[in-house]
């Protein structure tokens, strides 16, 4: 399935950088008690489904863009590493002024941020300072990548936009200059204007790979309901080859997910998460890890595509 041409890098960055303000367009500031009130305006370049904010950009816009508005551009990098958790149980509309509330506290040990958009817990998010991602974070994904070298594979062309390799155990996206230069590559729009990669790319890439892995597993169209991410850095070293990975062997049903099950191919399915990671190409470093929770769209009767390659 083909899609409209992605936005330019300049358009997407401009929309991300000005999407969060205080009330009435004033600078966003936390009150003396730590509470805050703000406004969001998500422009057309941030679209995922028509007229709605892209699922992967929820994590960036509702956490990183808020931190930028509170801390300033120069202090944003100091907010990393961070851990964030977001519910995506209602859409956020584009080209519409949206109100949000939250809390923000910062001390010598780090920060803690909460936000609630549109006065509903279905759009709650929280983020906090976290420790770095060490070897233990890399290990299970390194094992996965090494295991796929001995598995059958096929190439998936995602929405005529970018390729992903599907294996029995999971899916892998290889990101390098050639990948980002592909015409109509949706992920290329998240690259910084100076050509670098940062947390905007990370959030969107992890959401995409999670959806791809679960989409292949379920053979169905689906949507993200929850993101839980550990972002080690804002900016990724320039020109490094990267691997974006999803492990399809470790699904977990989300016990706290309030959404009703969906009947898929005759069976009830609950919101389920898969582990994801953004790794250095040499598998020595994790730039981000987490889990993406998804649920099939209701009303599907036919299987989409083919399952993961059999052993």
Average pLDDT over the chain, rounded to an integer: 92
The candidate with the shortest Cα–Cα distance to 195, out of 151, 258, 239, is: 239
Residue 311 belongs to a domain: no
The CB density around residue 225, as the number of other CB atoms within 10 Å, is 22
From first CA to last CA, the distance across the chain in angstroms is: 28
- The answer for residues whose C-beta is within 8 angstroms of residue 116's C-beta and 6 or more apart is 100, 101, 102, 123, 124, 125
Percent of the chain with pLDDT over 90: 81
pLDDT computed for residue 252 by the predictor: 96
Whether residue 1 is predicted with pLDDT greater than 80 in this model: the reply is no
Beta strands in the chain (DSSP E): 20-22, 35-41, 82-87, 97-107, 110-117, 124-129, 153-158, 162-167, 170-175, 222-231, 242-247, 252-253, 262-264, 267-269, 272-280, 286-296
Residue 165 belongs to a domain: yes
Alpha-carbon gap, residue 71 to 112, rounded angstroms: 13
Alpha-carbon gap, residue 51 to 237, rounded angstroms: 33
pLDDT computed for residue 243 by the predictor: 97
Q: What is the CA radius of gyration of the chain?
A: 19
Whether residue 307 is predicted with pLDDT greater than 70 in this model: the reply is no
- Cβ proximity of 215 and 159 under 8 Å: no
Residue 301 belongs to a domain: no
Residue 307 belongs to a domain: no
Element (H, E) at 109: none
Q: What is the number of structural domains in the chain?
A: 1
The candidate with the shortest Cα–Cα distance to 226, out of 94, 126, 89, is: 89
pLDDT digits (tens, 9 = 90+) for 156-208: 999 899 999 999 999 999 999 999 999 899 999 999 999 999 999 999 999 99
Per DSSP, the residues of 117-141 read ETT-GGGEEEEEE-PPP-HHHHHHH
Specify which residues 102 forms β-bridges with.
36, 115
Across 222-246, average pLDDT: 93
Q: How confident is the model at residue 254 (pLDDT cuts 50, 70, 90)?
A: confident
The 3-state DSSP class for residue 45 equals: helix
Residue 64 belongs to a domain: yes
Residue 3 belongs to a domain: no
Q: What are phi and psi of 180, to 5 degrees?
A: -70, -15
Name the pairing type of β-strands 82-87 and 124-129: antiparallel
pLDDT computed for residue 2 by the predictor: 45
pLDDT computed for residue 303 by the predictor: 63
Whether residue 249 is predicted with pLDDT greater than 70 in this model: the reply is yes
Whether residue 25 is predicted with pLDDT greater than 70 in this model: the reply is yes
Residue 242 belongs to a domain: yes
Alpha-carbon gap, residue 202 to 210, rounded angstroms: 12
Query: Whole domain around residue 59: which residue ranges?
Result: 9-296
Give the CATH number, domain containing residue 166: 2.40.160.210
């Amino acid at each position: 399935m083909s899609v409209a041409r992605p936005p330019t890098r300049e358009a997407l960055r401009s929309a991300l950088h000005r999407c969060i303000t205080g009330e009435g367009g004033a600078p966003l500031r936390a009150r003396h008690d730590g509470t805050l009130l703000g406004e969001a305006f998500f422009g057309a370049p941030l679209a995922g489904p028509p007229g709605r904010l892209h699922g992967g950009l929820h994590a960036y816009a509702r956490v990183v863009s808020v931190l930028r508005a509170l801390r300033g551009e120069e202090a944003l990098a100091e907010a990393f590493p961070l851990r964030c958790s977001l519910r995506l149980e209602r859409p956020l509309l584009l080209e519409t002024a949206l109100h949000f509330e939250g809390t923000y506290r910062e001390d010598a040990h780090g920060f803690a941020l909460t936000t609630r958009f549109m006065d509903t817990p279905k759009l709650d998010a929280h983020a906090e300072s976290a420790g770095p991602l060490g070897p233990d974070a890399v290990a299970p994904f390194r094992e996965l990548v090494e295991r796929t070298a001995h598995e059958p594979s096929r190439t998936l062309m995602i929405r005529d936009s970018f390729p992903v390799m599907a294996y029995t155990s999971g899916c892998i996206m290889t990101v390098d200059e050639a990948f980002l230069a592909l015409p109509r590559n949706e992920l290329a729009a998240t690259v910084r204007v100076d050509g670098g990669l940062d947390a905007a790319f990370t959030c969107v890439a992890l959401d995409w790979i999670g959806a791809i892995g679960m989409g292949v597993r379920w053979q169905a169209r689906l949507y993200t309901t929850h993101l839980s991410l550990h972002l080690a850095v804002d900016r990724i070293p320039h020109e490094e080859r990267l691997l974006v990975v999803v492990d399809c062997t470790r699904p977990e049903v989300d016990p706290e997910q309030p959404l009703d099950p969906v009947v898929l191919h005759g069976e009830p399915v609950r919101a389920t998460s898969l582990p994801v990671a953004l790794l250095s190409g040499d598998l020595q470093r994790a730039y981000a890890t987490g889990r993406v929770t998804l649920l099939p769209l209701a009303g599907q009767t036919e299987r989409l595509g083919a399952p993961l390659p059999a052993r």
